[in-house]
A and B are shown apart, each in its own frame.
Chain A
Amino acid sequence: MADSVLDEVDPAFPAGSGTGIPGIRALYRGAKRSAWDPLTAVPWELFDANAYSEETRWAGRVYWSGRAWGEYGAVSESPALQLRYDLDGLEPELSLFWALRTQEEARHAEVSVRMADLLGGYLDDLPPLVQPEPADLKGAGEVKDPPSGAPAPAAPAPAGPAQAGPAPEGGPPVESNAPHLGTRARALAPEVPVEATIAGLVCVAETIVLDVFRELVKEVVDPVAKEIFRLIVRDETRHCQFGWLYLEHRADKMTDSIRAACVAVMTAMVGEIELGGYRSPWLDPTRNPALVEIERRVFEAGLGGTTQEWEGPVLVSSIRALRERVARFRIELPTFRHPALGVI
């Protein structure tokens, strides 16, 4: 077997005219019609910085910068899947939809940067997180350095390094040096079926995010943040539908080996990435307690964020629902355990 799908020869022609999977062609059409302009679709003029304390603006700045990093991950990694669709000679509507999806994720990153800027300035990395004291803050735009002589705390993520671990069975190791979901690596690895990559990225990671954001929109009070989340939810709904539709399309053709790969990737995505705190730091509070507190402050201010008490039930419900949903394709996910959430 080739080391990379890029060892295969380019296809010369698209495999059809984009009508092979009608449900996905419909999603593509929906994406065209729902396209929005980040400059005008969000009521930026409604943002009132004075409505928030300096500490809250700081927390919001960190949170929304982290949102931008997460959205950027989709811009950085998942276009590789379009290349895989092409090289595998898959239905071209996958590529058409994916092209629009990449642009939607770019919009999500763009508006997240703008929101961070409104709150004091986009941060290009996780700052050394010391609990900010109001007297030490010179302004919402300042990044606080650690006290002289103290080492900067290691910067884990929301978008920080996914913990490298042994390769999930049937899949390549999550990239150990990169703070990513491993989508790019999986997309280009010929031994990882496309179904498994989509199952992990879309049917787990994006589905959980969508379930959380659908609830979060109800909690967000700030009108600018609320509209941003509403637009993201609308786009992500289509993104998730894509993944589930594709698995449904492939259900009868999936071999035991492909199903095993789906199980491996989905299990790793839930157990190691999601429950490991990749997206919500409260799931691994020892890694960066300051970040947990930041997200709480942002949540209580109605700017986004999360708390364990609020998100825990949503997350558990989401994981149970996706396990039930994917079982229709004879993909059986294990029980998960988490110190705060118990048995899922």
Chain B
Amino acid sequence: MRDETGRPPATDRTVPFELGEEQRYPLDLAVRSSPIRSLYEAASRERWDPERAVSWDELSQAGYSREERRAAALVWSHRAWLEYRGIRESETAVVRLCIERGWGGDVKFFLASRATAKALATETAWLVAGALDSYLPDAPSSLLAGVLADDTARRGLHARTNVDAFVLSQIFVADVADLACAEATLERTAAPVLRELLGHLLRDKRRHVAFGREYARWRLPLLAGSGRLEDVAISVEAAFEREVRGLRCPSWLADARTEGFSSHLVEAYEITSRAGLGAVGAAELGRCVMAALEDVVSELSPLGVRASAPSPLPIDPVTSR
């Protein structure tokens, strides 16, 4: 199987994995992008600790029904799975960029801060799930597992992968979708403790999206005329595909209409949204993600990346029944 560029994809295990060779010196640690350096410095200033940011007893003792607590714990467990993969994304990008030459220190330092933010976000989700009911460690018999296990590290580190394509697809697309959903979630969240936590998370997520934008503005003009913009477009569309397969929006999971975990997760989002415990309903979540992906298309197009937005999905088939 070959990808659209005619090469075996990085995920093809019949072809040996190739890790590039690092040529470290001269070691450029100069400021190559002042906006990205500023974002990194902001991350150093805007430190927070989920354990200390809120009064967790308030959440544990709040008067929600058992059904609401269990549903919200499942939603926040899903959130933990998504945030945790963000650590892998960030560390993969750091390793890969350090193998490459010409990126200076800013991008690498920033991505290290993104890994930290993802660690804090994962911890937050664990704590919330545990405070409301209990954390669910996995999704039994669900297609979500296949969507989550997407060979992030292999794709990012493979020497054949265009590193700009990886950063803009794996990280920028995910961050734009993530921020859109988080902002909508905050609007629907009533629980004060959760609103406080979401505020902290949103500050980090806004910084991540700002990074992606600055990265695109800095790097994409350098790729003009090289053919690599096409690589970026292909990778961005692959990231869209991951979202559309239900990475973030459980009602898009292919098995969401059958009785099982995925439909249970969809229902959990509905219950959690109604209770104000940190979610939006499936239909609104779908609209957020779709709008976010269209925003990515709009932002990258003037920079030469002609990615096609995914076709609008039908009105959520699960919740419309």
Residues in A lying within 8 Å of B, measured CB to CB: 3-4, 6-7, 9-18, 28-29, 32-33, 35-40, 68-69, 72, 75-77, 79-80, 82-83, 86-87, 92, 95-96, 98-100, 102-103, 105-107, 109-110, 113, 122, 124-126, 155, 159, 177-180, 184, 188
Further contacts, 9 of them, CB under 8 A, given A12-B149, A75-B109, A103-B112 = A12-B146, A17-B126, A29-B51, A37-B41, A86-B88, A100-B116, A103-B113, A122-B29, A178-B22
Query: How close is B107's CB to chain A, nearest CB, in angstroms?
Result: 11
Asked, given contacts A10-B152, A80-B95, whether A107 binds B44 with beta carbons under 8 Å apart, the answer is yes
Alpha-carbon separation in the docked complex, A82 to B16 (Å): 22
The reply to whether the CB of B67 lies closer than 8 angstroms to some CB of chain A is: no
**Which residues of the other chain, B, contact A7 by a CB distance below 8 angstroms?**
13, 17, 154
Are B44 and A10 in touch, CB under 8 angstroms? no
Are B84 and A95 in touch, CB under 8 angstroms? yes
**Which residues of the other chain, B, contact A105 by a CB distance below 8 angstroms?**
112
Q: List 23 A-B contacts (CB under 8 A).
A: A4-B19, A6-B154, A12-B138, A13-B138, A14-B84, A17-B126, A32-B51, A35-B47, A37-B45, A76-B22, A83-B91, A83-B92, A92-B84, A98-B91, A100-B116, A103-B113, A122-B30, A124-B28, A124-B29, A125-B25, A159-B27, A178-B21, A184-B19
Q: Interface majority SS on B: helix, strand, loop or mixed?
A: helix
Are A3 and B16 in touch, CB under 8 angstroms? yes
Are B138 and A125 in touch, CB under 8 angstroms? no
Q: What is the interface residue range for chain B against chain A?
A: 35 or more
**Which residues of the other chain, B, contact A95 by a CB distance below 8 angstroms?**
84, 87-88, 119
**Which residues of the other chain, B, contact A79 by a CB distance below 8 angstroms?**
91-92, 94-95, 112, 115
The reply to whether the CB of B153 lies closer than 8 angstroms to some CB of chain A is: yes
Query: How close is A145's CB to chain B, nearest CB, in angstroms?
Result: 15
**Which residues of the other chain, B, contact A177 by a CB distance below 8 angstroms?**
21
**Which residues of the other chain, B, contact A76 by a CB distance below 8 angstroms?**
22, 24, 94-95, 98-99
Q: Interface majority SS on A: helix, strand, loop or mixed?
A: helix
**Which residues of the other chain, A, contact B25 by a CB distance below 8 angstroms?**
69, 124-126, 155, 159, 179
Q: Which 5 A-B pairs have the closest CB atoms?
A: A76-B98, A124-B26, A79-B91, A12-B148, A99-B115
**Which residues of the other chain, B, contact A68 by a CB distance below 8 angstroms?**
27, 29
Question: Within the complex, which residue of B29, B122, B148 is in contact with A72, where a contact is CB–CB below 8 Å?
Answer: B29
Please provide the chain B residues from 148 to 169 with a CB less than 8 Å away from any CB of chain A in the complex.
Answer: 148-154, 157-158
The reply to whether the CB of B304 lies closer than 8 angstroms to some CB of chain A is: no
Are B29 and A109 in touch, CB under 8 angstroms? yes
Query: How close is B117's CB to chain A, nearest CB, in angstroms?
Result: 9
Are B116 and A83 in touch, CB under 8 angstroms? no
**Which residues of the other chain, B, contact A80 by a CB distance below 8 angstroms?**
91, 95
Are B122 and A11 in touch, CB under 8 angstroms? no
